[in-house]
């Protein structure tokens, strides 16, 4: 029971740390449901890790496998999110005779914004979740392959 309380406490600490990211996103986008779900996910993962660290034997192997699947799913989901953002791009402003679109860089007006500028900005912004998700997914796959090889070599398959 102490391990569960410790993992809940760690989840709350991680929520405080991630508040630096989550609260500005909530204020900027107004999507408070997603911010609340992110806090719940942080606490859930922290409790899951705490429970896994308290286990041993066969249950530990199953729990590590489930954590591995969770990490792989998060990595693939981030990559899919970044690709989806690029594929479903819609300009926020289309320049015309009556509409003047401006390009802001670091809060400064640097000139007119074309649709190509907006697409370029979207691609650059989407590289962060694509790159981060790829690192997580590749790391999870490398961990899984290494663990599978170690288990297989102990059983004499290789």
pLDDT interval class at 4 (50, 70, 90): low
Spatial distance between the Cα atoms of 42 and 114, rounded to a whole number of angstroms: 39
Spatial distance between the Cα atoms of 27 and 33, rounded to a whole number of angstroms: 12
Q: What is the pLDDT of residues 128-140, one digit of tens each?
A: 889 888 998 998 8
**For range 92-103, the mean pLDDT:** 79
Residues 6 or more apart whose CB falls under 8 angstroms from that of 87 comprise: none
SS3 string, 118-140, reads HHHHHHHHHHHHHHHHHHHHHHH
Ranges 46-50, 78-82, 104-108, most confident:
78-82
On the question of pLDDT at 145 being above 80, the answer is yes
DSSP for 52-107, written as a single string:
HHH--THHHHHHHHHHHHHHHHHHHHHHHHHHHHHHT---S----SS---EEEETT
Phi, psi of 152 (to 5 degrees): -70, -40
Spatial distance between the Cα atoms of 63 and 56, rounded to a whole number of angstroms: 10
Identify the pLDDT of residue 1.
Answer: 59
**For range 18-46, the mean pLDDT:** 77
- CA nearest neighbour of 20 among 34, 7, 39, 44: 39
Percentage of the chain beyond pLDDT 90 is 4
**For range 96-106, the mean pLDDT:** 78
Identify the pLDDT of residue 138.
Answer: 92
On the question of pLDDT at 119 being above 80, the answer is yes
């Amino acid at each position: 029971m102490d391990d569960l309380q410790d993992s809940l406490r760690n989840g709350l600490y991680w929520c405080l740390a991630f508040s630096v990211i989550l609260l500005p996103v909530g204020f900027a986008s107004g999507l408070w449901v997603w911010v609340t779900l992110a806090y719940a996910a942080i606490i859930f993962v922290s409790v899951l890790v705490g429970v896994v660290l308290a286990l041993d034997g066969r249950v530990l192997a199953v729990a590590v496998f489930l954590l591995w699947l969770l990490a792989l799913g998060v990595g693939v989901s981030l990559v899919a999110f970044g690709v989806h953002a690029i594929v479903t791009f819609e300009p926020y402003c289309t320049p015309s005779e009556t509409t003047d679109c401006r390009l802001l860089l670091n809060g400064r007006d640097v000139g007119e914004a074309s649709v190509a500028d907006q697409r370029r900005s979207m691609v650059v912004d989407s590289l962060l979740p694509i790159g981060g998700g790829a690192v997580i997914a590749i790391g999870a796959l490398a961990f899984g392959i290494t663990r599978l090889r170690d288990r297989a070599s102990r059983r004499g398959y290789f």
